[in-house]
Structure 1
Amino acid sequence: MIETYAEALQFIHGRDRFKKKPTLDRMREFMALLGNPQDQLTMIHVAGTNGKGSTVAFLRDLFMAEGNTVGTFTSPFITRFNERISVDGEPISDADLLADVQRIEPVVAQLDAELGAEGPTEFEIDTALMFSYFASHPVDIVVVEVGLGGLYDSTNIITPVVSVITTIGMDHMKILGDTIPKIAAQKAGIIKPDVPVVVGRLTPDALAVMDDTATANHTQVCALDRDYKVKNQPEDEWGERFAYAWGDRRWRHLQIDLLGPYQIDNAATALTAFITYHLVKKQRVNIAEIRQGLAHTAWPGRFERLNTEPLIAIDGAHNEPAMVEMTQLLRQHFKQHDVYIILAVLADKQYDQMVQTLLKVRNVHIVVTQFQGPGKRAAATPQALEDAVTSKRVTMAPDWPTALKTVLGTISADDLVLLTGSLYFISEVRQYFKGTDE
């Protein structure tokens, strides 16, 4: 019997992360045994290689600016597991999470007895907890982030009002495929009959997959750069400003507090999905509320400032496409500064390529280090990282606090210190800077 919050977490994290054969049958049976709570919810579904979390955050704040109560399901968490299931940005309470686990545990036991080694995975249980929680604690809308891929993701048993695909890049290739069209096909798996699709900035071959899948499902794709457009309107303050155009909607000087040109794409993708939702529901949108929602959005761990003087930031740029975006951001906002990057990544990432990408920015210096990897996932060792690249601008430290101390001893007042490479790593750093109740 699960009686404490700690036991509830142990139950969740003690499950397998993956099964050999991808299937949604187990998830559908799981939900049927729980009374199909997902069928009671009004949802937007968000997939993509990068940008999912920020897009969910923009959508949450756009709906909240209208006075709606918004549930979100996101992964991974930055500080505590509870963040994954939130209402208006507030994580589920320990007591509610415990009650939810107690409710589904007998169903999991039943499936284990029936399926043996093929019982529910950790993420399927996370998803079931979320559906169950929002069915018993109703909200106006739930924004559901895909865990991995799309086609076989455990969230993909829903019929949302709008499907969103942010970006397509090379990540999780062993699971999703080793080409952009193969990965795009997995992400396009969330497209449902007659449900409108909004996509971010995709390559032509990825967009073609989306269009073909949408046509087969009697719906259509609204794509960034083709159907709706953005124009960067740079300014000196922290954050980004842009103009947005879609049909006769033309709005200038939309302001966001998140940094990076790709955050403009995420905000515009979220805004288009938000408008699409209102078109489906035959509701009007209000530009004043849109401005308020976008300006209010914060997303921990995405180029987040932890300290101002010296400027210390963290960013969960955990794969090669994210590092390419990072270099654009550094060139645009920090070309006048020396940038010291403390990099720690998981061992299964393309870390040699990530380092080479960052070194293309002339004012970047990199200290490769390591952190405690989550569960069974190993972090790359500094030696492996250093062996992967030879450059005078790359040095090594045994752990990140040592790396940070070394860097702070060498920088000048207007330099930037950026800790990046894995969301798990920056979670550790964030807890150190901000303190935690764990």
Structure 2
Amino acid sequence: MPRNHDGICSSALRCLSSGTSDDNEMRDRADNMVASSEWNRTKDALLKLITKRTRERLRTDAVEATREHLEQLHLDLSRLSVIHVAGTKGKGSTCSMVESILRSKGYRTGLYTSPHLIDVRERVRINGDPLSHDKFCRYFWEVHHALKMFSDDEQNDSQMPGYFRFLTVLAFKIFLSEPIDVAIVEVGLGGRFDATNVVSPVVCGITSLGFDHTNVLGNTIEEIAFQKAGILKPGVLSFTSPQRPNAMQVLEEQARQVGCPLLQAPPMSQCAQRDEVKASDIGLKGQVQDINAGLAVALSNAWLARNQAGPAKKEDLFVVSEGFREGLRSVKMLGRCQRLVFAPRSKFSTRNLEMSYYLDGAHTLESVECGARWYGSHVDTAQRNDVKQVANILVFYCSGDRDYKSLLAPLFELHRSHPFTKVLFCPNNEAMDTKGMTISSWTQLIAAHWEEETGRATEILENVNALVNALSAEANETLGLAKDSAWDLKANGDQLFAPHEAEEAEERSRAMVSKQEFNVYITGSLLLCGDTLEELLSRSLKPYEAKEWILKYSK
């Protein structure tokens, strides 16, 4: 689902470098005002391409329609060396790992993923970085004007593409215009009829399959596997993560019919190691990343062999090759097992206080199970390090097409081992009425199930703004701060946002001050994680810089 959270802060840019002159800062402010106006115009045009807010069925003509748009723009995809990845769980993580591995090997990469959390520029990255606002706008309008000309022509049956298809065409335009060696492309939905399925890939991958988008892809694992297998191409080496037997049977049968070799990639921990990497070394956290990394290793090796004009030897495909370690260690993604640390804006006697947001957009049973284990391990680690945890709050929401009882089950288990001090339910900002129920009624239904199972009262917040207000107020009261105390981004994981924070951390360490941590765990919806992250960054002292830093850090 598209996101309307890409605005640039209206205040002038503050330069992070202390040596910037007043003249340069004034020029930056003027440039930012112009950029903001153009960016808002681009956002508005992009949002007008949204045709429906929910997916009711697969568009079987999406592939052919995308090909038509590519022809209209004279874009020749045969010039791209593509790695194409489908799946239910972990396809974004796998794509990000492949991109990071190949970039660490010295190749220039293009990455196309979806959805985005806080900025549409997240979807298209060159060498790990999102495009600048200026460059994104320039490419956007080149594509938009050209396609609009065809759609306005009464002699032509062509129509403007919808949101996702337009972004897919735009990504290919960018990849063909920028000097890249490889394009890693994530399927949007399904595979067989997805707009990305216009590529002729060098190698394909299918991540773990499960039940998601069943209203569109089918209610059985066999139906879902059939849709995912649609990306397999004749003669193209393909890999799959370990699957359920009935899903694997479908994939193997489809591969046989298409005429492509299909190999099962083992978890990374079972691969041969030339560059020793442990599962705990992977930048993306959670036990499931061992499986995703195994597929990423196989895809990377296959592409490297093909790029070096040599046949891919089977014994070399499942090897953590030299140089892979750095790529796997440095990979990051927004909203997937991500810890964001905030500190009070006051610099007086508050250096031992932290508010940690644990964001995990898991929205399938298996993913929520993995996320719950990840969060529980963080709580355990903090306890071993004598960190006083003054709050342990769960925030949950899931869309109406998901089985909320199933998704809450792992969280009940987590609650039994690591009791939540409070449980909040809050819809994302773009939540829609579903199943004949209002958003309010749906949220109340989820909350009632938690209360029935645990015997504990819950709270419902109307929107993300109210959620962050409530959490900040409770943190201030719990930690003895002024009611209106503000919180600023301090770190993403272990990397510090502001240089002066490193000095503060050292001082705190020397003083052996016991740290107090206010924990918030948000899961069930990637959109809720994105809205919360956007809201938190907008309240920072330097919102623009904080947002850009987060986008850069997630490379």
**Aligned counterpart, 1:429:** 532
Cα deviation, residue 286, structure 1? 8.1
The secondary structure found in structure 2 opposite 1:360 is: helix
Checking the alignment, whether the CA contact within 8 Å between 1:196 and 1:220 is kept in structure 2 is yes
Equivalent in 419, 430, 437 of residue 522 of structure 2: 419
**Aligned counterpart, 2:448:** 387
**Does 1:274 pair with 2:300?**
yes
Cα distance in 1 for residues equivalent to 2:41 and 2:56: 23
Checking the alignment, whether the CA contact within 8 Å between 1:346 and 1:380 is kept in structure 2 is no
**Aligned counterpart, 1:253:** 278
Query: Please, which moves more after superposition, 291-300 or 407-416?
Result: 407-416
**Aligned counterpart, 2:459:** 396
Deviations 1:376-406 (A, max 9, x none): 6779443232134423246123242255347
Cα deviation, residue 414, structure 1? 6.5
Cα distance in 2 for residues equivalent to 1:62 and 1:353: 35
**Aligned counterpart, 2:405:** 352
Checking the alignment, whether the CA contact within 8 Å between 2:274 and 2:322 is kept in structure 1 is no
Cα deviation, residue 202, structure 1? 1.5
Deviations 1:214-271 (A, max 9, x none): 11222222214xxx344xxxxxxxxxxxx3425x979553621322101111112111
**Does 1:32 pair with 2:71?**
yes
Question: What is the correspondence of 1:132-143 to structure 2 with a 5 Å cutoff?
Answer: 132-143=173-184
Cα deviation, residue 13, structure 1? 1.8
Cα deviation, residue 203, structure 1? 1.1
Instruction: Look up the equivalent residue of 1:270 and give its one-letter code.
Output: A
Report the aligned-residue RMSD.
Answer: 3.0
Judged with a 3 Å threshold, the aligned counterparts in structure 2 of structure 1 residues 325 and 25 are, in CA distance, closer, same or farther, namely: same
Checking the alignment, whether the CA contact within 8 Å between 1:340 and 1:418 is kept in structure 2 is yes
Equivalent in 220, 235, 240 of residue 261 of structure 2: 220
**Does 1:368 pair with 2:368?**
no
Instruction: Give the % identical residues.
Output: 26
**Aligned counterpart, 1:77:** 116
Judged with a 3 Å threshold, the aligned counterparts in structure 2 of structure 1 residues 155 and 313 are, in CA distance, closer, same or farther, namely: same
**Does 1:314 pair with 2:359?**
yes
The secondary structure found in structure 2 opposite 1:211 is: helix
Query: Please, which moves more after superposition, 343-352 or 284-293?
Result: 284-293
Normalised by the length of structure 2, the TM-score is: 0.69
Cα distance in 2 for residues equivalent to 1:41 and 1:377: 41
Deviations 1:78-117 (A, max 9, x none): 221111111122111222222222222244322465447x
Gaps of 5+ in 2: 1-36, 311-315, 343-353, 384-390, 480-514, 548-555
Question: What is the correspondence of 1:39-50 to structure 2 with a 5 Å cutoff?
Answer: 39-50=78-89
Judged with a 3 Å threshold, the aligned counterparts in structure 2 of structure 1 residues 134 and 220 are, in CA distance, closer, same or farther, namely: same
The secondary structure found in structure 2 opposite 1:9 is: helix
Checking the alignment, whether the CA contact within 8 Å between 1:397 and 1:403 is kept in structure 2 is no
Instruction: Look up the equivalent residue of 1:321 and give its one-letter code.
Output: E
Question: What is the correspondence of 1:17-416 to structure 2 with a 5 Å cutoff?
Answer: 17=52, 21-23=59-61, 24-109=63-148, 110-111=150-151, 114-115=156-157, 119-224=160-265, 228-230=266-268, 243-245=269-271, 251=276, 253=278, 255-282=281-308, 287-307=321-341, 309-330=354-375, 334=379, 340-361=393-414, 362=416, 363-365=418-420, 367-374=423-430, 380-381=439-440, 382-389=443-450, 390=452, 391-393=454-456, 395-398=458-461, 399-401=466-468, 404-405=471-472, 408=475, 413=516, 416=519
Cα distance in 2 for residues equivalent to 1:111 and 1:137: 27
Cα distance in 1 for residues equivalent to 2:238 and 2:48: 36
Normalised by the length of structure 1, the TM-score is: 0.86
Cα distance in 1 for residues equivalent to 2:261 and 2:215: 30
Judged with a 3 Å threshold, the aligned counterparts in structure 2 of structure 1 residues 403 and 375 are, in CA distance, closer, same or farther, namely: closer
The secondary structure found in structure 1 opposite 2:263 is: strand
Checking the alignment, whether the CA contact within 8 Å between 2:444 and 2:460 is kept in structure 1 is no
Instruction: Look up the equivalent residue of 1:392 and give its one-letter code.
Output: G
**Aligned counterpart, 2:43:** 9
Checking the alignment, whether the CA contact within 8 Å between 1:163 and 1:196 is kept in structure 2 is yes
Checking the alignment, whether the CA contact within 8 Å between 2:431 and 2:439 is kept in structure 1 is no
Judged with a 3 Å threshold, the aligned counterparts in structure 2 of structure 1 residues 60 and 256 are, in CA distance, closer, same or farther, namely: same
Cα distance in 2 for residues equivalent to 1:300 and 1:257: 12
Cα distance in 1 for residues equivalent to 2:174 and 2:205: 23
The secondary structure found in structure 1 opposite 2:84 is: strand
Cα distance in 2 for residues equivalent to 1:339 and 1:372: 21
Judged with a 3 Å threshold, the aligned counterparts in structure 2 of structure 1 residues 101 and 312 are, in CA distance, closer, same or farther, namely: closer
Judged with a 3 Å threshold, the aligned counterparts in structure 2 of structure 1 residues 375 and 286 are, in CA distance, closer, same or farther, namely: closer
Checking the alignment, whether the CA contact within 8 Å between 1:48 and 1:187 is kept in structure 2 is yes
**How many equivalent pairs are there?**
419
Judged with a 3 Å threshold, the aligned counterparts in structure 2 of structure 1 residues 375 and 157 are, in CA distance, closer, same or farther, namely: farther
Checking the alignment, whether the CA contact within 8 Å between 2:275 and 2:320 is kept in structure 1 is no
Judged with a 3 Å threshold, the aligned counterparts in structure 2 of structure 1 residues 183 and 19 are, in CA distance, closer, same or farther, namely: closer
Instruction: Look up the equivalent residue of 2:46 and give its one-letter code.
Output: I
The secondary structure found in structure 1 opposite 2:278 is: strand
The secondary structure found in structure 1 opposite 2:357 is: strand
Cα deviation, residue 280, structure 1? 2.8
